[in-house]
Structures are given as C-alpha cells and as structure tokens.
Amino acid sequence: MNNKRILIKNLLTHHDENTFYEKKESLDLKTDEGKGKFLKHVCALSNSNPENNSYLIVGIENRTSEIKGFSFFDDSNVQNLVSSYLSNPPNLKYENIYFPNLPKDKVIGLLTIHPSKTLTSFKKNISNFSKGSCYYRKGSNSIPVDDKYSVEPSNIMIVADIEKYSNMSFKVLLDDVFDFYRLWSPEYHPQYLVFKDQYIICWAGYRTKYGEIPMLTEVDVRIVNEASRLFYSAVQWVDIKTTDSEFVILEYKVLGFDNNFTLYPFEETKIIFHENGNFNISTEIIFNPPKFDNDAIKVLYSKTKDFESKIVRGDKIDYAKDLDFYLGIANYFLICYFNGINEAKTDLLNSSKYLDGAAGEWQSECVEILEKFKNKYILR
C-alpha cells in the first residue's frame, strides 16, 4: 500500500525530471493554451511508459524542487479533459496529497498515469496542438514522435523500486492521524473511522444548520493510508454518512434569488471498502437545476444586466444597499441560463472580469456547477 506523500518525496529526492516523471508549479485547465500543454505532457508520459506508471506532480518549485503547494483540484476535471481530447487515453488518476507543513487550503497534486501499450495522440485541435499530434519524453522534454522514438527499458525497474520504497509504515500512519487532530480545533469535531481493519479515514467539519437542516461547512476528508485529501472546502455545504463499508460525502449548492434561496443536492462521492483490501471511489453529479416562473426569470435577467452595466461603466454603487445583489450576480446569471436564457451563460463566464472577493468566489463556484453539469450529459 503506497503512501503518496512518501512516493512524491522519493520522486523529488532521487530523480530529476525524466522520461517517467515531471513536476509543475501549477496547473492551468481554464485556458486552451494551458489545457493543450497539460495534454501534451500526459500524451508524452504515457507513450514513454507502456510497462510502468508515470507521474506528473503539481505544486513543486521547478528550480529547487521545494514543496510549495497548489489548490485542491477535482479529478473529474482532468478525466473529462483527457477523454475529450486524446485518442487511446491512458487510465489515470489525479489525487490531492496533503503535507503537514502546507497551509490547510494547499495540497500537492499527483497525477498517476497507468501504463498503456497503445500510442496516445490528440484526437482534435486545441491551442497550438493539432489533431493527430503525438508526443514522447526525451530526457525531461516532451517532443513529437519521430523516427528516433524509443522507450527507456530501465524505467520499469526504476519505477518499481520507487513504488516499493513508498509503502506506508505504522509510525507514519499514526503520526498522520495525530497531525490531523492537531490541525483541526475541537469545534470542527475531528474524527476517524477504520474500514475493513485496514483503511483509516479522518474528517473534520464545522457543524451548523441551513435553516433547520443540519450541515457541515469547512470540511476536510482524508484517506490517511495514502495521504490523499479526498475532499476539501471552505464554503460548500456538506453532509457525511457512513456504514461499515461506505463513506459518503453529499455536497450541496445554494442557489436562488430574492427570498427563494434553497439548498440543492449537487454531487455525491462514495467510497466503498471491500473485504479483499481494495476500495473504489465513485463520484456522481445528482444536480437538478432549479426552475422558476418565466416572467420572474425575465425580470431577474433584466435587473442583473442593468446592475452589470453600472459596474462595467464604473458608476457609483451603494454597496450598503446592494451588496447582496452584487454578491449574487453570477448565481443569477446561472439561474437564468438554467431557465432558458441562453445568453446568460456568456454573461456568467464574462462576469469573472469584474467580480472579485466573495462575489468572485461565488462566480468560480457557479462556473464549476455549469461545467460539471454540462460534462454529466456529455459523458452519458
């Protein structure tokens, strides 16, 4: 059983970037340029390692290999991108790995690319990368496949040794549990459960209510054995349920306008632990967009566009009076789009240019709702 934090340290300590591993300070999957570069590296690492795992580590300073940290990132974003743009995509997994010295909201991203004997290539154009492009690793560089393309056979043994010496010890396991309890103060009710006498899950969250409904916020969930942070949020509303073999995280989103704000079930993450010592994680979008009266939506859209115009023109705004409306602009555009006003989607995306602070955070959350909801139906 590999501890992913030890694995990362072993990769950083014993090897510079090479044909089976690469490090990045950050990951940009919001722009086509950033997506294209990321896909290029996935393609190259996969093609250069048909017999062993390969790795991409995010949150590492390039020159010194210092562990700097990166924001919590959703595996589904990576899976959707790779399956959409690459032919013969490899099986892969993106995990958020915690380190005790990092701030609570920072992790190290670890992308594990499992071996595939079939060449991976671009199946459609994106940024500067054209359909049919195919890459492999030469040293620490990702370059187009040519007549010099070859696989480094020594990778098989090197990666096997690195993974062998990344196993979890009882001391590390216990230290991680104690560190978790020290990190979260008593009002967050840190706790743990052992599943099938083997896996330990630690979680913490601030207990509160939405109306009369008990909820958790500021939630942190970790699979201690692998040093993997399964879920982290400073804002979402969350409910957690457990059985002898399951750990279920149900995430809610708050949407609405005027006096119609409501919690909507959005995403369910389920971990099932098996008797044979394995476990599997499934994530399902269970969101059904709210529907409102057409006339009320038309009024809301007109009002939101008028308010947007004031912001863009630089008009003076009475935030003491209109702060709540300002904070909810992105939410209003999202609701309008879900209720048949198609141009509100562009308005939502463009609102990132003028919304900041708490309004900007809500805008990012609304874009995430839009993207995940869209991907739910694309992948069906």
For residue range 31-43, what is the model confidence (pLDDT) as tens digits?
899 999 999 999 9
pLDDT of res. 376: 65
pLDDT of res. 162: 92
pLDDT of res. 307: 93
pLDDT of res. 136: 95
Which whole-number Å values give the CA distances from 179 to 167, 188, 227, 328, in the listed order?
19, 14, 12, 37
Low-confidence ranges of the chain (pLDDT < 70): 1, 15, 17, 376-380
Q: Which domains does the chain have, with CATH numbers?
A: 4-164 (3.30.950.30), 170-285 (no CATH), 294-378 (no CATH)
pLDDT of res. 62: 85
pTM: 0.81
pLDDT of res. 18: 86
**DSSP 8-state code for residue 234:** S
Return the structure tokens found at 137.
């690793």
Which whole-number Å values give the CA distances from 350 to 187, 344, 360, in the listed order?
39, 10, 11
* DSSP letters for 311-348: HHHT----HHHHHHHHHTHHHHHHHHHHTT-TTHHHHH
pLDDT of res. 378: 46
What digits encode the pLDDT tens for the residues 188-246? 999 999 999 989 999 999 999 998 999 999 999 999 999 999 999 877 899 999 999 99
